[in-house]
Amino acid sequence: MQFFGGSEISPSPPTPTTTTGNNAHRIYIFNRNGVCLLYREWNRPLHTLNPQQDHKLMFGLLFSLKSLAAKMDPTRTSDLRETLKYIYNLYVEYVAKNPLYTPGTPI
């Protein structure tokens, strides 16, 4: 393949220099509907699934990771200052001001 710099780039990953370990390299490209557009593999000694099942499992993993990342996105969280102030005031009233409470013991 040639890119903007005019240098030639090999479509296969570099061969590992160490003899220990079993590195399998795979690339998947899916469309939005979950159809695998491109699949390549290098150094994969063990084939456990047929390709259709393998593609479905990988797309399911990527879809789940995408939804998890969307739920953990900090820009969707509202301002929690009032909630934290309320919890702090409860702690002060019922724990810190309690004469029977010994610091360091479970609440």
Q: Is residue 85 part of a domain?
A: yes
pLDDT at position 4, please? 47
User: Average pLDDT per run of 10 along the chain, which is 107 residues long?
Assistant: 48 55 82 89 80 89 91 78 93 88 82
The angle formed by the CA atoms of residues 98, 86 and 94, to the nearest 5 degrees, is: 10
The answer to the question of residue 55 being in a domain is yes
Tokens 């004469």 correspond to what residue? 99
Residue of 1, 49, 2 whose CA lies nearest to 26: 49
- pTM, rounded to two decimals: 0.48
What is the rounded distance in angstroms from the CA atom of residue 72 to the CA atom of residue 51?
32
Residue 5 lies in a domain: no
* Per-residue model confidence (pLDDT) at position 83: 92
**pLDDT of res. 104:** 83
Asked if residue 102 belongs to a domain, the reply is no
Look at residue 78 and tell me if it is in a domain. Answer: yes
**Domain tally for the chain?**
1
Contact 28, 58 (CB under 8 A): yes
- How many helices and strands in the chain, by DSSP H and E? 2, 2
Whether 15 contacts 23, CB under 8 Å? no
Residue 19 lies in a domain: no
